[in-house]
């Protein structure tokens, strides 16, 4: 598909993350038109201009600031808006504040858009994905949270680094909450069809699974401590999700959406599972086989999210 055949993507929130997403979408030629929407119109205008000035070196793509009315004909709407956690602020207080913001954004989107495809990036992303889906009334397969997609990318990166193989040849997932209770599915992690553990044993090396998982889980906080924010990794993550949708790929990615009743104890909460993504959104959720320990960890992660969600929504 050429860029001329691609349509409009709206990014709501023109902060570091929204700007990096807009820039990545432009570089990868994933839309013919990218619109940045932000309460701070000067920031949106400045970000759009900064990116637009470089389009002379690429095929032409329009990037500009706009309003919520741009959602009416957008192929995909990406929500990045929200406030960052302040010193002394609890995770619960932050979530409650961002829920209020996300509800307002969702209402504004639905005023103009009919059955849109929404990608949620704002944190805590599992909670915000749930709120957007319930507030919009959209089918859950059309409200997609980035969830553990970036955690999984980090996980695969650290495995590839330790095993000295191309990261593209590592197949492994982190599922559940995008947070401390996330679960590494080691029992299904492979390199070239062989388990990661067996691959390392054959080369005479020992794999410290816990160390790799902790590095993947904590690396976002590490980046924040070093440079103050993370935005390139999540921008590339969003770009990959967009690609799977716009190119109708049926690609399998670990993203979050509100699970249905067939998931029993995991239902009515947004958690990350391997999902088949295409132009309709989430076409299928894969029930990946897990060890007993992994299953128990997923149960605990889901319960933690449900309990936190109840606290957040108590206003």
Which sequence positions are flagged as catalytic?
A: 178
Query: Would the annotation count 43 as a binding residue?
Result: yes
DSSP per-residue string spanning 38-94: -SSHHHHHHHHHHHHTTGGGSS--EEEE--GGGGGG-SEEEE---PPPPTT--HHHH
Query: Would the annotation count 146 as a binding residue?
Result: yes
Query: Would the annotation count 148 as a binding residue?
Result: no
Query: Would the annotation count 67 as a binding residue?
Result: no
Query: Would the annotation count 137 as a binding residue?
Result: no
Query: Would the annotation count 48 as a binding residue?
Result: no
Cα separation, 212 vs 306, whole angstroms: 27
Query: Would the annotation count 87 as a binding residue?
Result: no
Cα separation, 163 vs 200, whole angstroms: 7
In 3D space, the residue among 169, 182, 103 whose CA is nearest the CA of residue 137 turns out to be: 103
Token pair for 233 = 């990794």
Check if the beta carbon of residue 31 is closer than 8 Å to that of residue 63. Answer: no
Token pair for 293 = 């320990």
Query: Would the annotation count 38 as a binding residue?
Result: yes
CB atoms within 10 A of CB 142: 17
Cα angle at 165 between 162 and 169, to 5 degrees?
120
Query: Would the annotation count 223 as a binding residue?
Result: no
Query: Would the annotation count 248 as a binding residue?
Result: no
220 CB burial (10 A radius; 0-12, 13-18, 19+): middle
Query: Would the annotation count 237 as a binding residue?
Result: no
Query: Would the annotation count 29 as a binding residue?
Result: no
Query: Would the annotation count 194 as a binding residue?
Result: no
In 3D space, the residue among 299, 266, 270, 295 whose CA is nearest the CA of residue 282 turns out to be: 270
Q: Which residues are annotated as a binding site for NAD(+)?
A: 13-18, 38, 43, 68, 98, 104, 121-123, 146
Q: Which residues are annotated as a binding site?
A: 13-18, 38, 43, 68, 85, 91, 98, 104, 121-126, 146, 151-154, 230
Q: Which residues are annotated as a binding site for substrate?
A: 85, 91, 123-126, 151-154, 230
């Amino acid at each position: 598909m050429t860029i001329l055949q691609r349509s409009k993507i709206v990014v709501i929130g023109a902060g570091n993350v929204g700007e990096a997403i807009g820039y990545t979408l432009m570089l990868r030629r994933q839309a013919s038109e990218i619109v940045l929407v932000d309460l701070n119109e000067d920031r949106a205008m400045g970000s759009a201009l900064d990116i637009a000035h470089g389009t002379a070196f690429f095929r032409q793509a329009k990037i500009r600031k706009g309003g919520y009315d741009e959602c009416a004909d957008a192929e995909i709407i990406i929500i990045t808006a929200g406030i960052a956690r302040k010193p002394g602020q609890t995770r619960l207080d932050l979530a409650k504040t961002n829920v209020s913001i996300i509800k307002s954004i969702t209402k504004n989107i639905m005023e103009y858009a009919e059955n849109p495809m929404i990608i949620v990036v704002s944190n805590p992303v599992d909670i915000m994905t749930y709120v957007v889906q319930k507030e919009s009334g959209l089918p859950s397969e059309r409200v997609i949270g980035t969830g553990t997609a970036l955690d999984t990318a980090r996980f695969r990166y650290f495995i590839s680094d330790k095993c000295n193989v191309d990261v593209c040849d590592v197949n492994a997932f982190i599922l559940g909450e995008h947070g401390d209770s996330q679960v590494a599915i080691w029992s299904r992690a492979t390199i070239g069809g062989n388990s990661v553990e067996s691959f390392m044993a054959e080369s005479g090396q020992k794999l410290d699974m816990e160390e790799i998982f902790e590095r993947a889980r904590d690396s976002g906080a590490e980046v924040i401590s070093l440079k103050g924010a993370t935005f390139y990794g999540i921008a590339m993550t969003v770009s990959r999700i967009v690609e799977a949708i716009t190119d109708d790929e049926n690609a399998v990615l670990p993203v979050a959406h509100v699970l249905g009743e067939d998931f029993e104890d995991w239902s009515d909460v947004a958690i990350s599972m391997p999902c088949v993504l295409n132009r309709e959104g989430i076409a299928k959720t894969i029930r990946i086989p897990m060890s007993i320990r992994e299953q128990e960890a997923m149960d605990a992660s889901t319960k933690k999210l449900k309990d936190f969600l109840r606290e957040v929504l108590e206003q």
